[in-house]
Homo-oligomer: A and B are copies of this chain.
């Protein structure tokens, strides 16, 4: 019955995976729009146009759903970090490109509002805490590498501390340049100052 020249239909496992991913994307949208407390299994099933029982087949509980969402965000972040631009550039240009890359992400709802939800959640939920730790680990590793290229003589502990301070600086800048925040509309001038400030932190005398 199947035309051998046409692509084979997806195996059931892949169709299930696609369905799960589209559910997670919708759950992410709900978290961004209404927060963790606005995300309910019943309303998510409605928004996905599937039966609640069907949703529960994939995710037996809200807690299982949010754990899967945390893993999904981590995987996306890890994947994106493998392709961030300018890894081959000169040390200062590479550092600046990395900072710009993170700041651009923080200006998006899925790079700030969603993370604020998970920060809050991580204080009460061990799975969210582990996922957030993994997520910042990726950012810390990339930044440590970029700082080490700028200041090869600096001891490793200090490189790590500076990376941690800059991660905090970037994540906290969401309060200024994130969606709906004071500099959301014209973030340019502050962003340039943030980049210069990050460079000052990375390269200040030991």
Best-surrounded residue of A129, A158, A168 (most CB of chain B within 10 A): A168
In the complex the two chains form, what is the Cα distance from A204 to B196 in whole Å? 9
Q: Assess the B193–A162 pair: CB atoms within 8 A.
A: yes
Q: Which residues of chain B come closer than 8 Å to A183, judged between CB atoms?
A: 164
Interface residues on A, range: 35 or more
Interface residues as binary, A127-170 with B (CB distance below 8 Å gives 1, 0 otherwise): 00100010010000000000000000000011001101101111
Q: Does A120 interact with chain B (Cβ within 8 Å)? A: yes
Surface stretch bound by B, among A7-15, A69-77, A86-94, A173-181: A173-181
Q: Which residues of chain B come closer than 8 Å to A175, judged between CB atoms?
A: 119, 136, 167-168, 171
Q: Does A51 interact with chain B (Cβ within 8 Å)? A: no
Q: Which residues of chain B come closer than 8 Å to A161, judged between CB atoms?
A: 189-190, 193
Q: Which residues of chain B come closer than 8 Å to A179, judged between CB atoms?
A: 123
**With A38-B124, A173-B172, A201-B201: A164-B180 Cβ-Cβ less than 8 Å:** no
Q: Give the residue of B120, B180, B193, B204 whose beta carbon is less than 8 angstroms from that of A116.
A: B120
Q: Could you jot down 23 A-B contacts, CB within 8 Å?
A: A33-B124, A36-B36, A37-B37, A113-B120, A116-B116, A119-B119, A123-B179, A129-B180, A133-B182, A136-B175, A157-B189, A158-B193, A161-B189, A161-B190, A165-B169, A165-B176, A165-B190, A168-B168, A168-B173, A168-B175, A172-B172, A172-B173, A201-B201
